[in-house]
DNA sequence: GCGGGCCATATTTTCGAAGATACTTGATTG
DNA sequence: CAATCAAGTATCTTCGAAAATATGGCCCGC
């Protein structure tokens, strides 16, 4: 039996199931669909993601060194806990990585980087201009656009490792933002701040862009910390 | 068939096979038993580690975000490549993390930390005093003691994330050291340097300890870089 | 009533077979 | 001779069954 139409041209989305499960699982942890500290049972995961146990273990093993899940022997996986202390720790490193990365990025960025940044800001601004209600419904689009904007800012930084670590910390900060968002009023729009950062980057002012970005992030962290008692575990 | 002697008393090392495979695999990558860039075939791994495919995939998935192995779809896992550029990148971040961590560690360390540091140095020094030949044979012991000494130095740093990232970068630097060591004469003993760092730490001089540690690491990196053409991929 | 052991249930962990996908080889054609 | 294609081989990927381990409930002796 021919094993399907033999399409020789390699599909661009020759994606692995485990990678797909990984990204969905990660997204579900980041936006709090799985509560911090919650156990992740295979029976449940199998239904949700329509994948075998081995595939799920593979995805969870990937998230282990990133610090998003934890494992204790013979008792399975748990979503990593959160705490004000951890938030401060994550945030301090995140801000520093972002600042250093954007400084280098502005210094090294070429035309393609500029174009990517302009585009990313445009997409983010477009979503942010939508009426409040529609933005709510399409929150995952805003999330992706916001993530992509911040990625575009630092994309030209030549240190691959700094970018890697920055991305890791961004993930953790996003989780804190999203978990806290369910327990506090939506913060004010940050379009003006984003625009100012973009302008400083395009004007090739590395230090200014870095300062603006750091201030932007510090403010977010403080907002989250201010409402922390509402969603943090009481210890 | 009885599935083995049923020893009910819970062994203290109720360790997972996957975790055991993980640590052995990681060690084998770090000390170059698997060449950088080499493919990791499951048939071979299965014999070496006496584990099932699923278990091996789990371990490899863990190493993926740490940057020690890479995966391309349907072509399996490879040991991450090395390059002079990557070495410089890794080293710069590693040195910085170590320096910041030791400064904080010296500031916050208590009696238990001091004791641990003294002990770790003692063990390392004991091995380094052995005759050259015996040290060669027991190189894995030296490796563990050296790693433990550096861990003990920074152990009291209160930032869990800084310690995590430091540990990651330490792993990568160790790989560069070990891979290069096969292509150059063994460097001079660093016992005096280690001792100086320990003394500065115990004397509660954070900045001095930080400077000594940073200098110590910079020197190592330069030694490795100096011999880089001999073991780096040509392109 | 209450702690401690024991069985039944729930869950995790390991493993290799079966299905996909890539690579090799060799024959064929322009 | 180079390029193309096809069958055969090698390898990766996915999956759930079976073993190993933990959890909860029950009974018993005190």
A232: helix, coil or strand?
A: coil
The residue ranges of chain B whose pLDDT is under 50 are: 1-13
Chain B residues near residue A61 by CB distance under 8 angstroms: 18, 58-59, 61-62
Measure CB to CB from residue A73 to each of B14, B63, B162 and give the nearest one: B14
- Asked whether the beta carbons of residue B93 and residue A165 sit closer than 8 angstroms, the reply is yes
Helix axes B206-226, B160-181, angle to 10 degrees: 30
How far is it, in rounded angstroms, from Cα A10 to Cα A72?
A: 40
How far is it, in rounded angstroms, from Cα B231 to Cα A119?
A: 42
Helix axes B206-226, B84-108, angle to 10 degrees: 160
- Asked whether the beta carbons of residue A14 and residue B73 sit closer than 8 angstroms, the reply is yes
Q: What is the pLDDT of residue B2?
A: 31
Which whole-number Å values give the CA distances from A34 to A44, A170, B61, in the listed order? Answer: 12, 18, 22
DSSP state of B107: H
Q: What is the pLDDT of residue A78?
A: 97
- Mutation site, A65, A95, A97, A162, interface B, largest B CB count within 10 A: A65
Strands (E), A76-136: 76-79
Measure CB to CB from residue A65 to each of B18, B57, B62 and give the nearest one: B62
Q: What is the pLDDT of residue B7?
A: 34
Task: Domains for chain B: give ranges and CATH numbers.
Answer: 17-79 (1.10.10.10), 84-231 (1.20.120.530)
Other C-beta atoms lying within 10 Å of the C-beta of residue A152: 24
Q: What is the pLDDT of residue A235?
A: 63
Closest by Cα among A37, A58, A62, A34 to A48: A34
Q: What is the pLDDT of residue B235?
A: 63
- Asked whether the beta carbons of residue A93 and residue B57 sit closer than 8 angstroms, the reply is no
- Asked whether the beta carbons of residue B66 and residue A62 sit closer than 8 angstroms, the reply is no
Helix (H) or strand (E) holding A60: helix A53-66
The residue ranges of chain A whose pLDDT is under 50 are: 1-12
Give the closest-approach CA distance of B164 to chain A in angstroms. Answer: 9
The C1' atom of C10 and the CA atom of A46 lie apart, in whole Å, by 16
Q: Which residues contact A129 (CB under 8 A, 6 or more apart)?
A: none
Q: What are phi and psi of A110, to 5 degrees?
A: -110, -165
Residue A179 contacts residue A195 (beta carbons within 8 Å): no
Question: Which chain D nucleotides are covered by protein, judged by CB under 7 A?
Answer: 6, 11-17, 19-23
Q: What is the pLDDT of residue B8?
A: 35
- Asked whether the beta carbons of residue B90 and residue A165 sit closer than 8 angstroms, the reply is no
Buried b (16+ CB within 10 A) or exposed e, B42-60: eeebeeebebeeebbbbbb
The C1' atom of D8 and the CA atom of A135 lie apart, in whole Å, by 55
Other C-beta atoms lying within 10 Å of the C-beta of residue B77: 22
Nearest CA in chain B to A167: B65
Q: How many CB contacts within 8 angstroms connect chain A with chain B?
A: 68
Give the closest-approach CA distance of A119 to chain B in angstroms. Answer: 29
Taking any CB pair shorter than 8 Å as contact, residues of chain A touching chain B are 14-16, 18-19, 54, 57-59, 61-67, 73-74, 86, 89-90, 92-93, 159-162, 164-165, 169
Chain B residues near residue A16 by CB distance under 8 angstroms: 73-74
- Asked whether the beta carbons of residue A159 and residue B73 sit closer than 8 angstroms, the reply is no
- Asked whether the beta carbons of residue B159 and residue A89 sit closer than 8 angstroms, the reply is yes
Q: Which residue has the tokens 């445009």?
A: A122
Other C-beta atoms lying within 10 Å of the C-beta of residue B84: 14
Strands (E), B66-163: 69-72, 76-79
- Asked whether the beta carbons of residue B65 and residue A65 sit closer than 8 angstroms, the reply is yes
Which whole-number Å values give the CA distances from A58 to A52, B87, B92, B107, in the listed order? Answer: 10, 29, 32, 40
How far is it, in rounded angstroms, from Cα A78 to Cα A37?
A: 6
Q: What is the pLDDT of residue B136?
A: 84
Q: What is the pLDDT of residue B51?
A: 95
Give the closest-approach CA distance of A74 to chain B in angstroms. Answer: 8
Tokens representing residue B107 in the block: 């500031």
Residue A68 contacts residue A214 (beta carbons within 8 Å): no
The C1' atom of C24 and the CA atom of A14 lie apart, in whole Å, by 22
Helix (H) or strand (E) holding B134: helix B132-137
Q: What is the pLDDT of residue A132?
A: 83
* Nucleotide with the nearest C1' to A3 CA: C20
How far is it, in rounded angstroms, from Cα B1 to Cα A69?
A: 37
């Amino acid at each position: 039996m021919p094993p399907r139409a033999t399409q020789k041209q390699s599909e661009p989305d020759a994606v692995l199931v485990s990678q797909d499960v990984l990204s969905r699982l990660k997204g579900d942890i980041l936006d709090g669909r799985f509560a911090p500290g919650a156990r992740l049972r295979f029976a449940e995961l199998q239904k949700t993601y329509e994948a075998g146990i081995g595939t799920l273990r593979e995805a969870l093993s990937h998230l282990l060194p990133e610090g998003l899940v934890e494992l204790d022997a013979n008792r399975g996986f748990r979503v990593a806990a959160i705490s004000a202390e951890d938030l401060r720790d994550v945030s301090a490193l995140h801000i520093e990585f972002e600042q250093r990365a954007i400084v280098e990025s502005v210094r090294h960025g070429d035309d393609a980087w500029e174009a990517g940044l302009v585009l990313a800001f445009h997409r983010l601004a477009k979503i942010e201009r939508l009426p409040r209600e529609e933005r709510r419904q399409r929150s995952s689009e805003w999330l992706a656009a916001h993530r992509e904007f911040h990625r575009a800012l630092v994309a030209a930084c030549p240190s691959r490792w700094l970018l890697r670590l920055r991305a890791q910390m961004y993930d953790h900060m996003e989780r804190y933002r999203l978990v806290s968002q369910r327990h506090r009023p939506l913060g004010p729009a940050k379009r003006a701040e984003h625009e100012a950062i973009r302008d400083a980057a395009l004007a090739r002012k590395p230090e200014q862009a870095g300062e603006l970005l750091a201030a932007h992030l510090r403010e977010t962290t403080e907002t989250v910390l201010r409402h922390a008692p509402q969603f943090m575990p009481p210890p």
